[in-house]
A = this chain, B = another copy of it.
Amino acid sequence: MERPRHQGMAKNTYMRWRLPLVCLLWEVAMIVLFGVFVRFSPEADAHWEEEKREMNLTSDIENDFYFRYPSFQDVHVMIFVGFGFLMTFLKRYGFGAVGFNFLLAAFGIQWALLMQGWFHSFKSGKILIGVENLINADFCVGSACIAFGAILGKTSPVQLLLLTLFQVTLFAVNEYILLNLLHVKDAGGSMTIHTFGAYFGLTVTRILYRPNLEQSKDKQGSVYHSDLFAMIGTLYLWMYWPSFNSAISEHGDAQHRAAINTYCSLAACVLTTVAFSSMLQKKGKLDMVHIQNATLAGGVAVGTSAEMMLTPYGSLIVGFICGIVSTVGYVYLTPFLESRLHIQDTCGIHNLHAMPGLIGGIVGAITAAAATEEVYGKEGFIKAFDFTGAYQTRTPSVQGGFQAAGIVVSLLMAFAGGALVGAILKLPIWGDAAAENCFEDDVYWEV
């Protein structure tokens, strides 16, 4: 109390040259790389009339834009408003939550367009982008927003930009291994987005462990109105999650089915979250932390299987379980991780993304392994798992095995990548605040 308030400012948090330098350097790099590589896909190019003739399309409505643009906008809202506002629960870190999320996501989507483009949309030396690329870029950045949740309030914007650069890169590599090498299905990203993003972030925060963080403990809580701002984030994530899980599924029944499964899982998840939030508290009162977060676990956990024939009641079961797992995690696991394993997880992403992501990977593997031609129909079966070309002879149980392998690969990539990035961020040159100034907007913002 006697100490000057910003004594920790001895740690140099002065951003005036470092932050502009990084922002400008990277944006110039983006312009150069976009100039060399990025062009419009045929459906967004002015040559579309010729394309239409070639592909025998009779109407503009066949343009992929009309299949995916509404879902894209919903996903866009989830990344910027959903994640941004979900993290405003801290009483004095609302600017950092919304503002830094905005910054890292705006940078990340550009880099993701390039990274994912090189792997998936590269033709004759150019990356050809359309609405599906925009969705995938948002997805990729989603994993960085998740990791941000673990280190919220403890890092400088420069560190966040570094984290995003590396994480997007590794995301694209991991995604390539899963989707192209292992031929795994993961349209809603239980493995590629949530499992990878969360364990990456948890590894980073472990390495950045701050032994004296209790010095800013009073700021690590919420106030009444900050909890309401956070509920804006929660609800937009919850409502639009059916769009998230269906956004890049195949046209037609797969998109339709993914939305329904996700809707069901999320509905069930709310009920068990409320039940356990009340049950695990001595006074039986509800805790906003659980309502804000654990209600979303059901969306994470059907990320792989939503486009499969999981069925509505299967989705309810997954949501039921995840509401419980996630709420129990907030009550018992988060304190344990902090005190014993030195994992300081500001937003509890372990409960919202890591565990439900793992469950989602497993549910996906089981659902794939259990697939039959009877349930999917002959054509539907081949279409759902893309059992064509080199994969013509793959059986459901083998697919299930590869799905499981995808979980393991995602975990390994997360641990290795998180360790590397954590080590880089630990260098004392990036301008993070001292422990007693964490969770405090006025370190980096004019307040």
User: Which residues on B sit within 8 Å (CB–CB) of A271?
Assistant: 23-24, 26-27, 103, 106-107
User: Which residues on B sit within 8 Å (CB–CB) of A384?
Assistant: 46
Query: Chain B nearest CB: distance from A107 CB in Å?
Result: 6
Chain A 275-308 interface residues, beta-carbon cutoff 8 Å to B: 275-276, 278-279, 281-288, 291, 295
Query: Chain A, interface size: which category?
Result: 35 or more
A81 at the interface (CB under 8 A from B): yes
Q: Indicate which residue in B31, B45, B282 contacts A313 across the interface (CB closer than 8 Å).
A: B31
If A267-B107, A272-B27 touch, whether A61 touches B66 (CB-CB below 8 Å) is: yes
**Cα distance A256–B64 in the bound complex, in angstroms:** 9
One of A10-18, A191-199, A422-430 contacting the partner: A10-18
Query: Chain B nearest CB: distance from A412 CB in Å?
Result: 31
**Cα distance A45–B316 in the bound complex, in angstroms:** 17
User: Which residues on B sit within 8 Å (CB–CB) of A232?
Assistant: 81, 85, 232
| A46–B377 touching, CB < 8 Å | yes
| B316–A15 touching, CB < 8 Å | no
**Cα distance A256–B43 in the bound complex, in angstroms:** 7
Chain A 31-65 interface residues, beta-carbon cutoff 8 Å to B: 31, 34-35, 38-40, 43-50, 52, 59-65
A1 at the interface (CB under 8 A from B): no
Query: Chain B nearest CB: distance from A366 CB in Å?
Result: 16
User: Which residues on B sit within 8 Å (CB–CB) of A235?
Assistant: 80-81, 84, 98, 102
If A49-B377, A73-B243 touch, whether A295 touches B257 (CB-CB below 8 Å) is: no
Query: Chain B nearest CB: distance from A138 CB in Å?
Result: 10
Query: Chain B nearest CB: distance from A19 CB in Å?
Result: 5
Query: Chain B nearest CB: distance from A321 CB in Å?
Result: 11
User: Which residues on B sit within 8 Å (CB–CB) of A445?
Assistant: 285-288
Q: Indicate which residue in B59, B65, B312 contacts A40 across the interface (CB closer than 8 Å).
A: B312
| B276–A20 touching, CB < 8 Å | yes
User: Which residues on B sit within 8 Å (CB–CB) of A46?
Assistant: 253-254, 257, 309, 375-377, 380-381, 383-384
A415 at the interface (CB under 8 A from B): no
User: Which residues on B sit within 8 Å (CB–CB) of A238?
Assistant: 80, 102
| A106–B267 touching, CB < 8 Å | yes
Query: Chain B nearest CB: distance from A73 CB in Å?
Result: 6
Query: Chain B nearest CB: distance from A294 CB in Å?
Result: 12
| A69–B70 touching, CB < 8 Å | yes
| A103–B274 touching, CB < 8 Å | yes
Q: Which residue of chain B has its CB nearest to the CB of A102?
A: B270
- Of the candidates A109, A243, A252, the one having the most CB atoms from chain B within 10 angstroms of its own CB is A252
User: Which residues on B sit within 8 Å (CB–CB) of A64?
Assistant: 256
| B67–A34 touching, CB < 8 Å | no
**Cα distance A304–B263 in the bound complex, in angstroms:** 27
Query: Chain B nearest CB: distance from A225 CB in Å?
Result: 6
A166 at the interface (CB under 8 A from B): no
Chain A 127-176 interface residues, beta-carbon cutoff 8 Å to B: 129-131, 134, 157
Q: Indicate which residue in B73, B130, B157, B447 contacts A74 across the interface (CB closer than 8 Å).
A: B73
User: Which residues on B sit within 8 Å (CB–CB) of A377?
Assistant: 46-47, 49-50
Query: Chain B nearest CB: distance from A409 CB in Å?
Result: 27
| B103–A27 touching, CB < 8 Å | no
A95 at the interface (CB under 8 A from B): yes
A217 at the interface (CB under 8 A from B): no
**Cα distance A259–B125 in the bound complex, in angstroms:** 23
Q: Indicate which residue in B31, B65, B379 contacts A49 across the interface (CB closer than 8 Å).
A: B379
**Cα distance A272–B28 in the bound complex, in angstroms:** 10
Query: Chain B nearest CB: distance from A83 CB in Å?
Result: 11
| A444–B285 touching, CB < 8 Å | yes
Query: Chain B nearest CB: distance from A43 CB in Å?
Result: 6
6 A-B residue pairs with CB within 8 Å: A23-B275, A44-B256, A46-B253, A52-B252, A61-B66, A288-B445
Interface contacts beyond A69-B71, A106-B271, A157-B274: sample of 19 additional A-B pairs, CB < 8 Å, sorted by A: A17-B284, A19-B278, A20-B278, A27-B271, A27-B272, A30-B316, A34-B312, A40-B256, A44-B256, A46-B375, A60-B251, A61-B67, A64-B256, A70-B73, A107-B271, A109-B267, A110-B316, A224-B447, A285-B445
